[in-house]
Structure 1
Amino acid sequence: MQKTGKNPDSAVWYVNSLQLKIVVGVEQDPFVFTIFLIFTGAAVMATLALYARQSLLVAYVVLGILLGPSVLGWVGHAGLVEDISHIGIIFLLFLLGLNLNPAELLHMMRKTSWITLVSSLLFGLGGMLVALVFSFGFEEALLIGAVMTFSSTIIGLKLLPTSVLHHQRTGEFIISILLLQDLLAIGLLIYIQGRGSGIESVWTPLLLILKLPLLGLIAWLITRYLLIRLIRRFDKIQEYIFLTAIGWCLGLAELALAMGLSAEIGAFIAGVALASSPIALFVSESLKPLRDFFLVLFFFALGAKMDLSVAMPVLLPALILAALSLSLKPPVFRWLIERLGESKKRASEIGIRLGQLSEFSLLVSVVALEASVIGHKAAYLIQFATLFSFIGSSYWIVQKLPTPIALKDELRLD
């Protein structure tokens, strides 16, 4: 056999992909072949997930685990997976920022800020105690507790009927709590970046705090005096809107990097800067296909990077954290919301819909691991706990509440 000159990881990728090439009978380009596997596999897994009344996010993560190095090894190109994951985070945060209207948030904050803060303290304490029981370090336990405070925006809103989302008080409560949790998550990401910067200085957090409003000011000025005017002038050209929005997102991400911040924070601020403009909804609608594209890629990449041999020791604590989330969040939210005078039925429904961990928990685990703030074991604990909570919460919601994919005809509501 002739030597290929590849490193061991590349050799594994070559052998695994070669096995499939022999079956197909043609030579495959690694990039095209990987994209083919991801999206064809995602279509198949999504079909199975819908039949099982599960969140599609679960299907994408499971697909990544199956096709990644830990199981079949058909997608073993580590560099490609890392790039996909990073780009996915950037665009996800940009689109989250687009839906975070500052004026609307301030209006809702008066109603639900204390609910969010009290519940976050209780959930964070519960998660931290579980982590300490399983011998995690104090700082890792703090972070594990912190990610327990977030609920899934995607599950909370995607499984909520459109009529409830836009026209009922239930939707208003869910949106306001999730928006506040998203802000807390962004703050946590900023803290993680400061801890992982490697600069041992008491001024580092202060400098980050000062850079954020500066970046926000730059974004606001460019948006108001240049970006909005350009988009309004050429708003009938869909391709122009699409390219401008992407360029704005990536441009501010690069500026954030140049200022010593993260690309993810820059993308989030880029979205928030556009959120208060009258064209925000139009831009968000234009980018929906891109959002869905990167949702698949990010969660697939997350699963593909999981090493099951390392993850096995954290399966028990992950199950306990997921069970804690599913059993603690609904009654706590119900009790707090009832204190505002809401009916027991509405408070109970909101609690069930917010009873899982969040995709932001996954983002935090990835960023914290890359910044060496936590180890692989803690990162896998967060990821598997989130995955298990997604499975349990999705099934619970479609069994008991009105959703577009409810099991019972009387509960199926789009």
Structure 2
Amino acid sequence: MLFIAKLLIIILSTKLAGDLSVRLGQPSVVGKLIVGILIGPALLGWIDNSNLIETLAEIGVLLLMFIAGLETDIKELNRTRNSSLAVGAGGIILPLFGGYFAGLAFGLDAQQSLFIGLLLSATSVSITVQTLRDLGRLGTRESTTILGAAVVDDVLVVILLAFMISFADPAAPAVTMVILKKVLFFGAIGLLGWKVVPWVMKKLVPLRVSESLISAAIIICFFFAWLAEVTGVAGIIGAFAAGVALSTTKYKHDVEHKVEPIAYAIFVPVFFVSIGLNVSFEGIADQIWLIVVMTVIAVFTKLVGSGVGARLTGFDKQGSLGIGAGMVSRGEVALIIATTGLSAGLLDQQYFTSMVLVIILTTLIAPVLLKRIFGDNPQAKKEEAASS
């Protein structure tokens, strides 16, 4: 029953915090992220990071990205592929060099500095997706470019991480195998999304059981996410791909209508809170300048690197800044990379907490930047109220 009480606190606090955030003129997601820090171990200590919380949070982020895929126009995604490549590349090159030289300046060795650069190159758009949804911007050319660039970032960062681990640990999987797995994954989801998903929906939806439609959709979402994980790609990319595949079928609107209540009632609130549960203020006084400098570099390099990539491929100033801001959040992808680097000996324990705080800060800053850039959208108030 203790877990039920914790779940009650999570759902109530995120809804109240989201509403308060909207009333204060910010996206609802900002309040939800902050309340995770408030009720977590860093402050009140009401909620701790258990395996069950992590599992529910993982389901939440998968459903969030699945919904984003459902709301994505595949034709627009194809049209923005060049922009996505430029934005993704710009969002890796600048943070990689920025993090590397900053690490050296703070006295870290070359290997740890390079890993920090790689860590700052990561992008997680799960928070960005929710913010764009709050602002009524999900489905626009800018949001589609951000989503496409996030896929580019995920693949390149994981491949670079594989290189680093292979040099540090001779027993690690060969880089060639890592690349091959990713090629197989994207080839597989392309074929599955085109041919298999419509067939599966056609076979499962008529089953004489309750909620066969949404059950079939979630099966596809989880299968794509699992396939992504086993091939070394982030599960959120698989979930997004599943949503895109279903968006081309006649079931799109029905699935979207049914999955949103499931996601936003329980799983997505737990995901938002889980990010705050990773915050710890213990021992940060000695590394406060490291945290401040790395956070500034993390924000600036994504904003400029991805923004320039967008500008060079035809976006106006506002759109380019918005795309750069949308790539700022490091979120759960960077947390996973940080944990991997710690276990592989690429990052010392003494810097782990500081880098986690940098990741959390970028995740909090991204929605605020997006609000300032895109906050004049006439649909914003309606979308914010609906998602809070």
TM-score, normalisation: structure 2: 0.74
Among 169, 178, 190, the residue aligned to 2:146? 178
Give the Cα–Cα distance (whole angstroms) in 1 for the partners of residues 77 and 28 of structure 2: 28
2:281 maps to 1:308: yes
Instruction: Tell whether the 8 Å contact from 1:326 to 1:392 is kept in structure 2 after alignment.
Output: no
2:262 maps to 1:290: yes
Q: Give the C-alpha shift of residue 111 in structure 1.
A: 5.4
Deviations 1:285-314 (A, max 9, x none): 432233434332112011123222155555
* 1:243-282 → structure 2 map (5 Å cutoff): 243-254=215-226, 263-264=235-236, 266-282=238-254
Secondary structure of 2:282's counterpart equals helix
Among 121, 130, 136, the residue aligned to 2:102? 130
Distance 1:290-1:369 versus aligned 2 partners, 3 A rule: farther
Unaligned 5+ runs, structure 1: 1-28, 407-414
Q: Which residue of 2 aligns with 1:17?
A: none
Among 363, 366, 370, the residue aligned to 1:390? 366
Among 194, 198, 212, the residue aligned to 1:224? 198
Q: Which residue of 2 aligns with 1:241?
A: 213
Unaligned 5+ runs, structure 2: 382-388
Distance 1:53-1:194 versus aligned 2 partners, 3 A rule: same
Among 357, 362, 365, the residue aligned to 2:331? 362
Give the Cα–Cα distance (whole angstroms) in 1 for the partners of residues 124 and 224 of structure 2: 29
Secondary structure of 1:287's counterpart equals helix
AA aligned to 2:50 is A
Among 113, 116, 120, the residue aligned to 1:141? 116
Give the Cα–Cα distance (whole angstroms) in 1 for the partners of residues 37 and 279 of structure 2: 7
Q: Give the C-alpha shift of residue 362 in structure 1.
A: 0.7
What is the Cα-based RMSD across aligned positions, in Å?
4.0
Instruction: Tell whether the 8 Å contact from 1:64 to 1:304 is kept in structure 2 after alignment.
Output: yes
Give the Cα–Cα distance (whole angstroms) in 2 for the partners of residues 276 and 98 of structure 1: 8
Q: Give the C-alpha shift of residue 105 in structure 1.
A: 1.7
Q: Give the C-alpha shift of residue 59 in structure 1.
A: 1.8
Percentage identity across paired residues of the two chains: 20
Deviations 1:290-342 (A, max 9, x none): 34343321120111232221555555444444445666666777766666676
Instruction: Tell whether the 8 Å contact from 2:37 to 2:277 is kept in structure 1 after alignment.
Output: yes
Among 167, 177, 183, the residue aligned to 1:204? 177
Give the Cα–Cα distance (whole angstroms) in 1 for the partners of residues 70 and 296 of structure 2: 32
2:318 maps to 1:349: yes
Instruction: Tell whether the 8 Å contact from 2:182 to 2:232 is kept in structure 1 after alignment.
Output: no
Secondary structure of 1:54's counterpart equals coil
Distance 1:186-1:102 versus aligned 2 partners, 3 A rule: farther
Q: Which residue of 2 aligns with 1:154?
A: 129
AA aligned to 1:182 is A
Deviations 1:162-218 (A, max 9, x none): 6xx77xxxx42x134312222123315754885779862325314423541464245
Give the Cα–Cα distance (whole angstroms) in 2 for the partners of residues 45 and 313 of structure 1: 31
Distance 1:242-1:120 versus aligned 2 partners, 3 A rule: same
Give the Cα–Cα distance (whole angstroms) in 2 for the partners of residues 326 and 62 of structure 1: 18
Q: Which residue of 1 aligns with 2:384?
A: none
Distance 1:329-1:221 versus aligned 2 partners, 3 A rule: closer
Q: Give the C-alpha shift of residue 36 in structure 1.
A: 0.7
Give the Cα–Cα distance (whole angstroms) in 2 for the partners of residues 213 and 326 of structure 1: 29
Task: Name which of structure 1's ranges 120-129 and 282-291 shifts more when overlaid on structure 2.
Answer: 120-129
AA aligned to 1:121 is I
Secondary structure of 2:43's counterpart equals coil
Distance 1:140-1:222 versus aligned 2 partners, 3 A rule: same
Q: Give the C-alpha shift of residue 127 in structure 1.
A: 4.2
Tell me the number of residue pairs that the alignment of Structure 1 and Structure 2 aligns: 364
Higher relative contact order (CA 8 A, sep 6+): 2
Q: Which residue of 1 aligns with 2:386?
A: none
Q: Which residue of 2 aligns with 1:45?
A: 17
Give the Cα–Cα distance (whole angstroms) in 2 for the partners of residues 208 and 336 of structure 1: 27
Distance 1:102-1:187 versus aligned 2 partners, 3 A rule: farther
AA aligned to 1:52 is L
Instruction: Tell whether the 8 Å contact from 2:123 to 2:330 is kept in structure 1 after alignment.
Output: yes
